[in-house]
Amino acid sequence: MTERGRLAASPWLARGLAILAGAGAGLAQPPFGFLPGLLGYALLLALLDRAGAERPLRSASLRGWLAGLGYFAPSLWWLAEPFQVNAAEQGWMAPFAVAIVTAGMALFWGFAALLFRLLGARGVLRVFVFAGAFAGLEFLRGHVLSGFPWDLAGETWPAGSPVSQTAALVGAYGLTWITLALAAAPAVVGEGWRGRGFVAASAGVLVALYAWGVVRLAAAPPTDPAAPMVRIVQADVRQESKYDRRVFSSIVARYVALTKAPAARMPDVVIWPEGAIPDAIEDYLADGTWTKTDILAALQPGQILIFGGYRYGDATSDPPVVFNSLLALRRDPDGFTRLGLYDKFRLVPFGEFLPFDKLAGELGIKTFVHVGDGFTAGPRPRPMAFRGLPPFQPLICYEALYPGFTREGAAAAHVRPAWIVNVSNDAWFGATSGPLQHLNIASYRAIEEGLPMVRATPTGVSAMIDAFGRPLASLPEGALGVIDRPLPPALADTPFRTLGDLPFWGLMAVSAAASLLARRRA
């Protein structure tokens, strides 16, 4: 019996192979880094080609969904960790949350598989159709209900590696299309000389991308030792301890001690992570409080403190308006001067806000998910510019997942930032693969924009990242300490910075043309 016949005769074998295909692609993602797993896309393409003869669309969508389950299970298992912060009340929800989110994300793969079969492409050009269908649904996954672009296929390549530099040309979504096309190409190797030639050409493209990346990295400019000195503070404060008022003073003491730790050169700017001090900003920085006195004493006149925390926009309203914010203060001889304020724009659905809040409240879902009234979204991000530091783009936690945020902010303000500040609270992830995945994803924003990134988290991974996405210095998970580094240089405008997602849509047009051409040939 042929392979096609075996798969048709044994649908359970095909379903198992679909899960295996997705798992292979998922394990190729950092921090696992099993890059041969990318061949899972080729296996998935072969499985979709051989979807059941009686109900091919139903069979294809099921196989795509099962592959999505295999992909997102190793990528998203860390979602159970936030529920362990209050395990007594919320721990029981962890397996349900992981299962629901994984199954929901896998639906995008199911729809992509359905779209691929609906287009009915044949021949070697169907590789481009496959890449377009899945890249298009990944783009949609990054935008529906504020989006969740976690572990895009294009971000499989470790940030800072030669192939990852392609994101400077086409962005993460464009690199997703390219990665899918290259990884799926081996599925057509058995189709005569056309198939073998297509696979050989795909291998040549991969080698060319790698070589271009090597050349680009070799031309990296050196860091100017006179550039602003940045101190990144990682206090190793676990999420569960933030809800214990008995340790509040010790948390403040950690940040104060690390801020004023001796250095060969006094830092020009000190950066604390998102939610560094577990209290409202206006409370712990109020005049006459011991917290403000201690924080002031930790800084030298002229030093700038950038940190994340929550604040009240209107505490008298019902419900109160609360923002997840980033604040920049300068230490002056007579106290603090506020230099800039940014309120988080892209909030985490079901974490910082509840979609369809009013309806969810009427149905009782709001109480079930423990979101409360959540945060209020601020205006779209723009660079922060003030005397004493090069302009920078603030990104709070989750916002570093989104390609184009910095580019859009610069266009709106007509100011190109010189660096990116990403304050994050990865303590929610615990000691899982989540912080390492988040670091890799965030580093792609540096590659796309050609800008260095300073990343501060309470428990790791904090890092100074250059404009090529490479961590020049980092503090691992569970470490307590500081990073003192001069700010790396920014690069000239990248093609992605200039064109945005236009290259991605150009690649999608290639998929559309390939579908039409393949159907005409058939």
Please indicate, yes or no, whether residues 485 and 506 belong to a single structural domain of this protein.
no
DSSP designation for 332: E
Query: What's the CA gap between 111 and 180, in Å, rounded?
Result: 16
The total number of structural domains that make up the chain:
2
Written as six digits, the tokens of 488 are 């790396």
CA–CA distance, 139 with 345 (Å, rounded to integer): 19
Give Cα 396 to chain centroid, integer Å: 11
**227 CB-contact burial (10 Å; exposed 0-12 / middle 13-18 / buried 19+):** middle
Q: Are both 457 and 408 inside the same structural domain?
A: yes
In the set 138, 274, 352, 449, the catalytic residue is: 274
155, 242, 366, 397: the catalytic one is 397
**C-alpha to C-alpha distance for 384 and 344, rounded to whole angstroms:** 13
Do 514 and 421 sit in the same domain of this protein? no
Residues 6+ apart with CB under 8 A from 104: none
The reported pTM is 0.92
Q: Enter the DSSP assignment of 302.
A: T
- Say how many C-beta atoms besides its own lie within 10 A of residue 68's C-beta: 31
**Within-domain flag for 278:** yes
C-alpha triplet 59, 60, 64: angle, nearest 5°: 120
Q: What is the CATH number of the domain that holds 335?
A: 3.60.110.10
Residues 274 and 157 in one domain: no
Q: Are 193 and 328 part of one and the same domain?
A: no
- Per-residue pLDDT of the chain (522 residues), as tens digits, is 455 555 555 888 999 999 999 999 999 999 999 999 999 999 999 999 988 666 889 999 999 999 999 999 998 988 888 887 777 777 888 888 889 999 999 999 999 999 999 998 889 999 999 999 999 999 999 998 778 999 999 999 999 999 999 999 999 999 999 999 999 999 999 999 999 999 999 999 999 999 999 999 999 999 999 999 999 999 999 988 887 888 999 999 999 999 999 999 999 999 999 999 999 999 999 999 999 999 999 999 999 999 999 999 876 676 788 999 999 999 999 999 999 999 999 888 777 766 645 544 443 433 334 444 578 888 888 999 998 899 999 999 989 999 998 999 999 889 999 999 999 999 888 888 999 999 999 999 999 999 999 999 999 899 999 999 999 999 999 999 999 999 999 999 999 999 999 999 999 999 999 999 877 776
**248 and 178 belong to one structural domain:** no
300 and 160 part of one domain? no
Task: Give, rounded to a whole angstrom, the gap between the first and last alpha carbons of the chain.
Answer: 26
- Which amino acid would we find at residue 421? V
Query: Closest by alpha carbon to 432, among 94, 109, 38, 39?
Result: 94
285 and 211 part of one domain? no
344 is catalytic: yes
State whether 212 and 260 are in the same domain. Answer: no
Look up the domain containing 337 and give its range. 229-345+380-490
Q: What is the pLDDT of residue 121?
A: 82
C-alpha–C-alpha distance, residues 508 and 510, integer Å: 5
**Does any domain span residue 353?**
no
Q: Tell me what pLDDT residue 3 has.
A: 54
Judge if 481 and 507 occupy the same domain. Answer: no
Does the bond joining 301 to the residue before it have cis omega, within 30 degrees of 0? Answer: no
Residue 274 a catalytic site member:
yes
The H or E element containing residue 257 is helix 248-259
Long-range pairs for 29-35: beta carbons < 8 A, 24 or more residues apart? 29/74, 29/75, 29/151, 29/155, 29/156, 29/437, 29/440, 30/156, 30/158, 30/159, 30/436, 30/437, 30/440, 31/433, 31/436, 31/437, 31/440, 32/74, 32/433, 33/158, 35/156
**Phi/psi class of residue 329: alpha, beta or left (left: φ > 0; alpha: ψ in -120 to 50)?**
beta
Taking phi first (over 0 means left), then psi (-120 to 50 degrees means alpha), and beta for anything else, what does residue 256 get?
alpha
Q: Is residue 371 part of a domain?
A: no
59 domain residue, yes or no: yes
Nearest-angstrom CA–CA distance, 199 and 346: 40
Quick check: bond before 461 cis, omega within 30? yes
The closest alpha carbon to 171, from 204, 144, 138, belongs to: 138
Q: Does residue 102 form part of some domain?
A: yes
Catalytic residue among 81, 138, 344, 449: 344
For 342, phi and psi rounded to 5 degrees?
-135, 130
In this structure, are 398 and 281 located in the same domain? yes
52 in a structural domain: yes
- Exposure string of 76-94, with b = 16+ CB inside 10 Å and e = fewer, is bebbbbbbebeeeeeeebb
Cα torsion through 96, 97, 99, 101, rounded to 10 = 150
For residue 274, the SS3 value is coil
Residue 373 domain-assigned (yes or no): no
Q: Which two tokens stand for residue 294?
A: 């201690």
Both 316 and 465 in one domain: the answer is: yes
Across the beta sheet with 384-386, what order do the strands follow? 384-386, 389-396, 419-423, 453-456, 462-465, 471-475
In a domain, 360, yes or no: no
Cα 375 from Cα 354, distance rounded (Å) = 9
Decide if 397 is catalytic: yes
